[in-house]
Amino acid sequence: MIRSMEKRDKEAILGILDETGMFTPAEIAVAEEIMDIYLDRPDQTDYGIVVIENAAAAIAGYMSYGPTPLTDGAYDLYWMAVAPKEQGRGHGKALVRWLEDQVKSWEGRMIIIETSSQLKYRPTREFYVRLGYKEVARIPDFYKPGDDRIIYAKYF
**Given this model, what pLDDT does residue 142 score?**
97
Instruction: Categorize the per-residue pLDDT at 131 as very low, low, confident or very high, splitting at 50, 70 and 90.
Output: very high
φ/ψ bin of 20: left (φ > 0), alpha (ψ from -120 to 50), beta (otherwise):
alpha
Residue pLDDT, tens place only, 133-154: 999 999 999 999 999 999 999 9
Question: To 10 degrees, what angle do helices 25-40 and 10-20 make?
Answer: 160
Question: In terms of Cα–Cα distance, which of 113, 98, 109 is closest to 73?
Answer: 109
CA pair distance 22, 122, nearest whole angstrom: 11
Alpha-carbon distances, residue 103 vs 17, 85, 150, 154, 156 (angstroms): 25, 29, 21, 11, 9
* Upper half-sphere CA count for residue 97 (Cβ side, 13 Å): 10
Residue pLDDT, tens place only, 14-68: 999 999 999 999 999 999 999 999 999 999 999 999 999 999 999 999 999 999 9
Q: Are 44 and 37 in contact (CB under 8 A)?
A: yes
Check residue 47 and give its pLDDT.
96
**Overall average pLDDT of the 111-125 stretch:** 96
- pLDDT category, 108, cuts 50, 70, 90? very high
Q: What is the pTM of this model?
A: 0.93
Query: 3-class DSSP state for residue 25?
Result: helix
Average pLDDT, the chain: 96
Number of neighbours of residue 151 by Cβ within 10 angstroms? 17
